[in-house]
């Protein structure tokens, strides 16, 4: 079998185009959706991610600002900026680009973002809403994976799914979304004794680990759909995922490439969350 490629760039473009009328309606009503990105320090990858997000905002007619803090800024300075943005009426989404320098606690600082503006979906309110089955602003990468699954017309209800990785940012929310849709979900971690024993049973495999080659073709059920969330920079500068693409694409029915896969979706779903946050803001005013 040679897997079909799941084209993240194409699906993300479609998702962004679907947002255009919603942005136009908001803007016509006097509310231009606004995203504020906070960038701490000078991490080169973070610069690229933020640039892509800001470009997507301007392509779609959203307002966007980047707020830069020095790498040695204090946690109080960062929290003061977040609280100022919480009070800024024309900002509907706040994005704190991770990772932060090691002296700053990402979880503690993120918790200061008002849940209504938490377009990354990492606040306890938004994560709790997802656990309770009433998602509000949900984590973007997990939303991106689910949008790809839907775009490909994959049946989730009754499917056996394996999520490799249990991070709050990716693994756990993806597992929760799959559970909500009726999949039977196994979550594997660094402590899992025999990863292949689990992945070999799965119709849907989502890998979010951060280690190239975590899953290869020999660990897959023929015909599985594979979503590779990993982004790893190799010694030669090339970007690769967590899945061994060559062997996996010989066994899977569908697979996401890296780059050009899930990463493209994460930007689109962030913009979708910002538009939803602006719509919620308007609804709350009337
Ligand atoms: P993370 O917080 O470091 O979590 C990694 C998870 O992988 C942990 O739960 C860990 O288990 C698990 N793990 C580590 N080694 C494993 C192994 N050998 N077998 C099974 N599980 C293992 O990372 P993350 O934030 O979820 O990100 C994961 C990857 O996705 C990274 O490459 C990141 O750059 C990428 N990413 C991509 C996007 C995108 O838009 N495409 C977005 C976010 C992240 P323990 O909990 O037991 O340690």
Query: Which of 7, 53, 172, 228 is the catalytic position?
Result: 53
- pLDDT at residue number 112: 97
Which H or E run includes 86? helix 75-87
pLDDT of 245 above 90: yes
How far apart are the CA of 165 and the centre of ligand 1, in A? 5
Closest CA to 11 of 277, 263, 248: 263
Q: Copy the structure tokens of residue 268.
A: 């689109």
pLDDT of 286 above 90: no
* CATH architecture of the domain with range 140-263: 3-Layer(aba) Sandwich (3.40)
Report residue 285's pLDDT band, with 50, 70 and 90 as the boundaries.
confident
Q: Is the CB of 165 under 6 A from ligand 1?
A: yes
- Backbone φ, ψ for residue 139 (5° rounding): -55, 135
Equal fold, 30-116 vs 140-263: yes
Closest CA to 93 of 14, 32, 11: 32
pLDDT of 261 above 90: yes
d(CA 50, CA 144): 17
Q: What is the CATH number of domain 30-116?
A: 3.40.50.10860
How far apart are the CA of 229 and the centre of ligand 1, in A? 8
pLDDT of 110 above 80: yes
Q: Is the CB of 280 under 6 A from ligand 1?
A: no
The SS3 of residue 265 is helix
Mean pLDDT, residues 18-29:
98
Collect all residues with Cβ–Cβ distance below 8 Å to 213 and sequence separation of at least 6. 242, 243, 244
| 175-224 pLDDT, tens digit each | 999 999 999 999 999 999 999 999 999 999 999 999 999 999 999 999 99
The structural domains of the chain, with segments of one domain joined by +, span 30-116, 140-263
């Amino acid at each position: 079998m040679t897997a079909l490629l799941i084209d993240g760039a194409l699906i993300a473009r479609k998702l962004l185009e679907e947002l255009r009328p919603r942005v136009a309606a908001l803007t016509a009503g006097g509310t231009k959706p606004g995203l504020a990105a906070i960038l701490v320090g000078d991490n080169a990858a973070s610069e690229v991610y933020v640039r892509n997000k800001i470009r997507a905002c301007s392509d779609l007619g959203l307002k966007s600002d980047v707020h830069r803090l020095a790498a040695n800024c204090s946690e109080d300075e960062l929290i003061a900026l977040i609280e100022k943005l919480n009070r800024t009426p024309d900002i509907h989404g706040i994005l704190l680009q991770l990772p932060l320098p090691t002296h700053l606690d990402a979880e503690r600082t993120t918790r200061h973002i008002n849940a209504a503006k938490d377009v990354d979906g990492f606040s306890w309110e938004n994560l709790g809403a997802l656990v309770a089955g009433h998602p509000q602003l949900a984590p973007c990468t997990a939303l991106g994976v689910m949008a790809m699954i839907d775009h490909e017309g994959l049946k989730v209800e009754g499917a056996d799914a394996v999520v490799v990785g249990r991070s709050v940012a990716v693994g756990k929310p993806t597992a929760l979304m799959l559970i909500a849709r009726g999949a039977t979900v196994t979550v594997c971690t660094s402590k899992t004794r025999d990863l292949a024993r689990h992945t070999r049973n799965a119709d849907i495999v989502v890998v979010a680990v951060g280690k190239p080659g975590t899953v290869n073709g020999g660990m897959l059920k023929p015909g599985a759909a594979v979503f590779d969330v990993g982004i790893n920079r190799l010694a030669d500068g090339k970007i690769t995922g967590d899945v061994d693409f060559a062997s996996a694409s010989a066994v899977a029915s569908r697979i996401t490439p890296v780059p050009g896969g899930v990463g493209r979706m994460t930007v689109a779903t962030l913009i979708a969350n910002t538009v939803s946050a602006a719509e919620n803001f308007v609804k709350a005013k009337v």
